[in-house]
């Protein structure tokens, strides 16, 4: 007889850096308590886990104070060991999670092509997430040239799912036991445009606080969202990035960036 799937009623979140939770994060956590009152909520931080025992990638990310990349590993560790639901601290619940818990694992699309990692859930020892976790054992956060390996876990999880037959159509599908829901379930706010497309399916809203972004990147996103009201998405993104470069690095850096862009375009012609 097949044992029915059951994801434990635990909500995990990560908060590294030894600072107090901001008000926005506290409001999001309050929404978890409101809609999931019988769930255990666990904060993962420096006192909860021995970072020195984790892969070099995690230690280097912590040394660089890139807390979001530390959390990329720790969320998987927590889910694989204990099971439950992981949520970023900028995720607000607007409905209960109970109807999703009777399965092996679930997540949702961030857009039509990419799998979001702001809300992830599984039973303990879920194989696909174990394989995902193992990737970090063979990589470093600090590149040989001194730059940082800032490939997002969204890109990594998306690639893993594509290798197992995921269709980049934004529709509900099952990939190696992972149910992936359309974006309106857990990620109805569009990253590119800032448009909120909340529907009757919406259970959570990822507000994209962007804790891993630099001040320049946050400013570019803010300007892009405003420009999108009057310009196409690609044009708004390019202009938003240009305005941010000019503000934070000066006009000479903007001119250099534009020259690099023109050189790359000529190579593709």
pLDDT per residue over 79-96, tens digit each? Answer: 999 999 999 999 999 999
Q: Which tokens is 84 given?
A: 């439950």
pLDDT tens for residues 24-36? 999 999 999 999 9
Q: How confident is the model over 132-185, as pLDDT tens digits?
A: 999 999 999 999 999 999 999 999 999 999 999 999 999 999 999 999 999 999
pLDDT computed for residue 56 by the predictor? 98
CATH of 10-212, one of 1.10.3470, 3.90.550, 1.10.287, 3.40.50: 3.90.550
In Å, what is the CA distance from 123 to each residue of 18, 84, 105, 127, 213?
A: 29, 6, 6, 10, 31
- Above 70 in pLDDT, residue 258? no
pTM of the model: 0.84
* Domain definitions of the chain by residue range: 10-212, 216-268
The three-class DSSP label of residue 79 is: helix
How many CB atoms lie under 10 A from the CB of residue 7? 22
Q: What percent of the chain has pLDDT over 70?
A: 81
pLDDT in tens, 92-112: 999 999 999 999 999 999 999
CA distance 259 to 269: 16
């Amino acid at each position: 007889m097949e044992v029915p799937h059951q994801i434990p009623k635990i909500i995990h979140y990560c908060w590294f850096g030894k600072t107090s939770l901001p008000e926005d994060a506290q409001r999001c956590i309050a929404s978890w308590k409101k809609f999931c009152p019988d769930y255990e909520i666990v904060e993962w931080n420096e006192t909860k886990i021995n970072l020195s025992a984790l892969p070099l990638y995690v230690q280097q990310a912590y040394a660089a104070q890139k807390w979001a990349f530390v959390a990329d590993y720790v969320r998987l560790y927590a889910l694989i060991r204990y099971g439950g639901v992981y949520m970023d601290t900028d995720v607000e619940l607007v409905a209960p999670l109970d109807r999703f818990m009777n399965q092996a694992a679930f997540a949702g699309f961030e857009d039509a092509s990419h799998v979001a990692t702001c809300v992830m859930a599984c039973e303990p020892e879920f194989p696909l997430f174990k394989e995902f976790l193992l990737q970090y054992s063979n990589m470093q956060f600090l590149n040989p040239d001194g730059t940082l390996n800032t490939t997002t876990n969204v890109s990594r999880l998306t690639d893993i799912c594509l290798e197992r037959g995921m269709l980049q159509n934004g529709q509900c599908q099952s990939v190696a036991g992972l149910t992936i829901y359309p974006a309106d379930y857990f990620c109805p706010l569009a990253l590119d445009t800032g448009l909120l497309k909340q529907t009757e399916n919406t259970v959570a809203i990822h507000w994209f606080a962007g804790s891993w972004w630099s001040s320049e990147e946050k400013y570019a996103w803010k300007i892009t969202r405003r420009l999108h009201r009057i310009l196409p998405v690609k044009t708004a993104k390019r202009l938003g990035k240009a305005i941010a470069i000019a503000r934070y690095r000066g006009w000479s850096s903007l001119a250099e960036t534009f020259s690099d862009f023109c050189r790359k375009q000529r190579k593709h012609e």
